[in-house]
């Protein structure tokens, strides 16, 4: 089993993180960038695909390409960006991106840096050159990185309102015991109360929250309830990234709470009532 050491207070940081779309127009100090790069090297995701991070500076990008990094006006002021690259076509490559980038994003939030997952609202073509994208790699996600500006622009308020960003689904829509017909209550969750609550607070594409967790004995099975609209609009199954984010919140919180366990991927979908339309991702085996 992999041992991790925590470098930030997990629950506190998860509660504090929020998507930041307006930044102070200042570059990240070199020391902070180095800290992030060092932390990035240490992150181990639950799956095998290797994720590569690219740190992009808006100024050098401007010099080389003659244009700014385009986020269709969604992001303002950011001078630094970070992209996550992974080999195309590998099993669980997007889940792995979700896990490791979220861990890095939480570490950044612990340093009081703002970020915003961008899966759809950035122009990928121009960035491909700048991140030294290799053949066979994809760049599914980038995030700006910087100091949040005070106040929000209208576009940001509109985006947050459209996605209902502050809202999260209630427990009974996300967490179950043995069957999709049997929601699990906060009381019944026992020592897994906080790992589940931190999954619930996770960010997700269009705030669709596709995570469905079903407890079976000492296992927690992670399923995805896919939304055709979200995945088609973005052009790739972005909700698999959301699943990795949820796994990251779950495992880091379990670690903080002193709960032990490991990730396993069952060969077939666990035969549970009500999961027919869900995609099985992986299971946490407690103990
Ligand atoms: C995988 C992923 C992709 C996202 N893509 C975008 C995007 O392209 N543009 C954007 O403005 N926000 C994007 N978001 C941010 C979500 O809208 C946001 O996380 C969600 O509404 C919850 O709000 P919060 O992050 O402030 O808690 C993305 C989030 C995730 C997890």
Under CATH, which number does the domain 19-161 receive?
A: 3.40.109.10
Q: Looking at ligand 1, which atom is closest to the CA of residue 98?
A: 1
Pairing of strands 175-177, 51-57: unpaired
Q: Looking at ligand 1, which atom is closest to the CA of residue 159?
A: 11
pLDDT at 121: 67
Collect all residues with Cβ–Cβ distance below 8 Å to 103 and sequence separation of at least 6.
Answer: 43, 248, 252
Instruction: Report residue 40 CA to chain centroid gap.
Output: 14
Q: Looking at ligand 1, which atom is closest to the CA of residue 245?
A: 31
Scored b (16 or more CB within 10 A) or e, 195-232 reads bbbbbbebbbbbbbbbbbbbbeeebbbbbbbbbeebbe
List, for residues 69-82, the tens digit of each pLDDT value.
777 778 899 999 99
Provide mean pLDDT across the span 182-206.
97
Q: What is the pTM of this model?
A: 0.95
Determine the Cα–Cα distance for residues 213 and 175; give it in Å rounded to an integer.
5
Residues flanking ligand 1, CB < 6 Å: 18-19, 74, 116-121, 159, 163, 165, 203-207, 238, 241-242, 245
User: Confidence class of residue 124 from pLDDT cuts 50, 70 and 90?
Assistant: low
Provide mean pLDDT across the span 125-137.
77
Alpha helix (H) residue ranges in the chain: 10-16, 30-42, 58-65, 93-110, 124-130, 154-163, 171-174, 193-200, 228-234, 239-256
Sequence ranges of the chain with CATH classification 3.40.109.10: 19-161
Sequence ranges of the chain with CATH classification 3.40.109.30: 165-286
List, for residues 236-264, the tens digit of each pLDDT value.
899 999 999 999 999 999 999 999 999 99
List, for residues 3-54, the tens digit of each pLDDT value.
678 899 999 999 999 999 999 999 999 999 999 999 999 999 999 999 999 9
- Polymer length of the chain: 287
Q: Is 165-286 a CATH 3.40.50.720 domain?
A: no
């Amino acid at each position: 089993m992999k041992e991790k050491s925590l470098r930030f207070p997990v629950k506190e940081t998860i509660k504090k993180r929020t998507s930041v779309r307006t930044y102070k127009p200042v570059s990240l100090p070199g020391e902070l960038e180095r800290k992030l790069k060092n932390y990035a090297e240490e992150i181990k995701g639950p799956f095998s695909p290797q994720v590569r991070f690219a740190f992009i500076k808006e100024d050098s990008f401007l010099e080389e390409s003659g244009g700014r990094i385009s986020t269709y006006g969604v992001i303002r002021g950011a001078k630094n960006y970070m992209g996550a690259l992974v080999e195309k076509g590998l099993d669980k490559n997007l889940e792995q991106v979700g896990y490791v980038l979220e861990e890095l994003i939480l570490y950044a939030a612990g340093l009081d840096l703002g970020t915003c997952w961008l899966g759809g609202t950035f122009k990928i073509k121009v960035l491909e050159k700048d991140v030294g994208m290799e053949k066979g790699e994809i760049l599914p996600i980038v995030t700006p990185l910087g100091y949040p500006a005070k106040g929000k622009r209208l576009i940001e308020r509109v985006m947050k309102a459209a996605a209902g960003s502050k809202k999260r689904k209630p427990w009974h829509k996300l967490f179950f015991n043995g069957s999709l017909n049997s929601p699990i209550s906060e009381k019944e969750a026992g020592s897994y109360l906080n790992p589940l609550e931190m999954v619930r607070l996770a960010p997700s594409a269009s705030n669709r929250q596709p995570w469905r967790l079903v407890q079976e004995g000492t296992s927690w099975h992670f399923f995805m309830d896919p939304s055709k609209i979200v995945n088609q609009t973005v052009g790739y199954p972005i909700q698999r990234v959301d699943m990795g984010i949820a796994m990251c919140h779950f495992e880091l919180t379990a670690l903080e709470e002193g709960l032990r366990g490991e990730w396993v991927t069952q060969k077939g979908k666990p035969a549970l009532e009500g999961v027919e339309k869900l995609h099985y991702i992986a299971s946490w085996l407690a103990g």
